[in-house]
Amino acid sequence: MTIRSFEEAYQRWLNDPNIDEATKEELRGLEGQTKEIEDRFYRDLEFGTGGLRGVIGAGTNRMNRYTVAKATQGLAQYVRSVAGDNGSVAIAHDSRFMSPEFALEAALVLAGNGVKAYVFEGLRPTPELSFAVRKLGATAGIVITASHNPPEYNGYKVYGSDGGQLVPETAERVMAEIARVASFDDIARMERGEAEAAGLLAWIGKDIDDAYINAVVGASPNPGLVKEAAAEGVKVSVIYTPLHGAGNVPVRAALAAAGFEDVVVVPEQELPDPRFSTVKSPNPEEREAFALAIAMAEKTGAELLLGTDPDCDRVGAVVKDRSGAYVVLNGNQTGAVLTEYLLSSLTARNAMPPNPVVIKTIVTSELGAVVAQHYGAKVLNTLTGFKYIGEKMTQFERTGEASFVFGYEESYGYLAGNYARDKDAVVASLLVAEAAVYYKRQGLTLYDVLEKLYERHGHYLESLQSRTLKGKDGLEKMRALMDDWRANPPADAAGLAVTQRLDYLEDVHGLPLENVLKYILEDGSWFCLRPSGTEPKIKMYFAVRGESAEDARAKLDAVTGAVMSRVDAAV
């Protein structure tokens, strides 16, 4: 939009007969607040490769029923272009403000276009939507969620027929269809009763739930382990928090089905709450999110704490260290431990599939890679985003060239099994808990296992820094920062020479183009700059390998300090 066109867009919404009176009243309350009006209308909320995400409210740059309807109209046009009259879309939502309303709005727009909508009758985890798309043979899927963003956010993620989030080529086709929706007059919509009567709105529940839990439990590398260990008197006590989100029912169901009996849920965080009122952020990457769980554990002595984010696609784990203190494993550590557990178990049972592959992302630690290679598995790297891991899984399923064993991201997303194409905190929760039982039978804790991996492969240490840059000014700062690092690449970081620069806007190993810069240092350490695709943040990833924990920490602090001093000077 031009400099003044945000004001024109604001007036168009005020005068559009398709906009309801409550929304117009919200907009009238902004009169005279030029900066706020500009932020709401200076652009259309961007539909990226993962869909929409933004603050809830009125305006083109906000999440509301109109931006959801416009996106869905474009999706419906795409679905009809590839499936004709036989298209269908599965829809799920989390516990956020307006999630049920946005899910229903999407369904009614699909119905208005003659596309059947299968809608979950209540909140469900994102990975179950991925499973449902595949199980129902749907053309596409939608999840209404903003993951771990603050309470004022919501989002709209789109999935393809394979159950994976849209990869760029398909997303571009959907975006082209959305761009054809010139006004709200172009949106077809059917009322709920009419849609149900016409068979274009179907509600789904227990049958898919049961099939999903069976698939999750079936991904175990050690069927029956937990029950066998319990018969021997080996049990692990678990405290679980869904952080007010969609994980409460499915995580507990999966753990129970596997044989876990001692699972306690943090009561204050058990029920859905769109305010996420007990945490600063419902993000299992942060220790603060586990404060209530750790307080409970310190009283009961629980051996394992698990926490899932609001849409239950990411999980954090807390274990006891050798002093008995509770420590939060980072995503790389959990990924390495799960890689060790899965591959060592399959090897011990002589059940390793042919041509096994572990898939991780370019910003994920190399520890999991060396663990996988230790067991003879091939390791593939993809761009950040589980959709790329899912894309590879579908390729392998189609060609038979490799057997997917495990995929993971440093941002606490993991998947084992072929039933879904997105990260799944339900199966990851089960596998972490199961691993705790497996190693307890050997007299080891999960912390012990991690320490043994360091002893075997070296002390890998990683960190993530981010800077939040909101609004139009923030986008411009991020763009300028990335441009500056491209034009003026560093020769070294903390005295370690940069030996390789990887610019993913250029062709790197045949990967799709993305605005990411990665710098490899002379000792194999690396750092990476990446604007987030889902939050108003720029992220800086750091990874080192040291001869000892102290050596790795010193390297990490030095490299991080050198890079962040330049970043902070720019933002």
In whole angstroms, give the CA distance from residue 226 to residue 446: 16
Q: Residue 343 — φ and ψ, nearest 5°? A: -75, -35
In whole angstroms, give the CA distance from residue 310 to residue 507: 35
Report whether 103 contacts 144 (CB < 8 A). Answer: yes
Report whether 257 contacts 213 (CB < 8 A). Answer: yes
Told to judge if 147 belongs to the known catalytic residues of this protein, a careful annotator would answer yes
In whole angstroms, give the CA distance from residue 294 to residue 28: 46
Report whether 498 contacts 492 (CB < 8 A). Answer: yes
- What's the chain's length in residues? 571
- DSSP structure string for 124-174: --HHHHHHHHHHHT-SEEEEE--TTS-TTEEEEEEE-TTSSBPPHHHHHHH
Q: In the 3-class helix/strand/coil scheme, how is 326-359 assigned residue by residue?
A: EEEECHHHHHHHHHHHHHHHHHHCCCCCCCEEEE
Determine which one of 95, 147, 220, 411 is catalytic.
147
Report whether 387 contacts 379 (CB < 8 A). Answer: no
Count of beta carbons in the 10 Å neighbourhood of residue 547: 10
Three-state SS for 539? strand
Query: What beta strand segments (E) does 207-258 contain?
Result: 238-241
Calculate the dihedral angle through the C-alpha atoms of 66, 67, 70, 76, rounding to the nearest 10 degrees.
Answer: -110
Contacts of 7 by beta carbon, 8 Å cutoff, 6+ apart:
37, 41
Report whether 45 contacts 178 (CB < 8 A). Answer: no
In whole angstroms, give the CA distance from residue 259 to residue 469: 46
Contacts of 430 by beta carbon, 8 Å cutoff, 6+ apart:
216, 217, 219, 220, 251, 254, 255, 258
The bridge status of strand 238-241 relative to strand 263-265 is: parallel
In whole angstroms, give the CA distance from residue 549 to residue 44: 48
- DSSP structure string for 59-103: STTSBSHHHHHHHHHHHHHHHHHHHGGG-EEEEEE-SSTTHHHHH
Count of beta carbons in the 10 Å neighbourhood of residue 137: 10
Tokens of 52: 């929409």
34-41 helix and 471-487 helix, angle to the nearest 10 degrees: 60
Measured over the CA atoms of residue 32, residue 38, residue 40 and residue 42, the dihedral's sign is: positive
In whole angstroms, give the CA distance from residue 265 to residue 240: 5
Residues assigned a catalytic role = 147
